Amino acid sequence: MNRLEQGSFALFTDGKRLQPVSLEKNVVGFCSKCEDDLVSVAYHRSDKGWMVSAQCQNQHLVLLLYNNDWNWLGDSELESVPEFKSISSLPREQLEAVFTAAEVRTLEACETGQPYTRQNLYRARAKYEKFEKLFGVKIKL
């Protein structure tokens, strides 16, 4: 499933994270679910061509696929996901409310590519859902 990150409009597809090339708004077609106009949300470039994330007024998301010459190839499903935050961008107080000091150190080390204690990482990952419920933030590593 293709995913569009809220806020940054980064596209997750084929195991890659693609930043938008443009956030220009254009009518790009019709929604197959409700027949309303589809308006572009973000344009993404890949080695296969162009991908346009689009949405109708009823919040239905669609990923339109084009080749390099802008010939339409088809549509694909698209879902919206919350924007992920890095550990270093979060307040220490929030992190320490859920994670132990050792888990916070391990998360920071993992994020920066430093050596870390694997068991602390497993324990911290088990608490991600609790952190998200408390603070409404998804963590990215």
Q: Please check whether residue 64 is in contact with residue 39, taking contact to mean a CB–CB distance below 8 angstroms.
A: no
Q: What is the pLDDT of residue 85?
A: 79
Average pLDDT of span 11-22: 90
Average pLDDT of span 45-69: 95
Express each pLDDT in 71-92 by its tens digit: 999 999 999 987 777 888 889 9
- Per domain, the residue ranges of the chain are 2-81, 84-140
Opening angle at CA 87, ends 82 and 89, nearest 5: 80
* Structure tokens belonging to residue 15: 């195991």
Q: What is the pLDDT of residue 7?
A: 85
Angle, in degrees to the nearest 10, between helices 118-125 and 101-112: 100
Percent of the chain scoring above 90 in pLDDT = 68
Average pLDDT of span 126-133: 91
Q: What are phi and psi of 98, to 5 degrees?
A: -115, -45
Q: What is the pLDDT of residue 141?
A: 66
What letter would DSSP give residue 87?
A: G
Average pLDDT of span 1-12: 89
Q: Please check whether residue 95 is in contact with residue 120, taking contact to mean a CB–CB distance below 8 angstroms.
A: no
Q: Among all chains, which residue has been given the structure tokens 């239905």?
A: 60
Number of Cβ atoms within 10 Å of the Cβ of 20: 20
Q: What is the pLDDT of residue 14?
A: 86
pLDDT at 50 exceeding the cut of 70: yes
- Closest C-alpha to 87, from 104, 99, 75, 101: 104
Residue 110 vs residue 83, higher pLDDT: 110
pLDDT band for 111, please (50, 70, 90 cuts): confident
- Closest C-alpha to 46, from 80, 85, 73, 7: 73
Q: 136 — alpha (psi -120 to 50), left (phi > 0) or beta? A: left
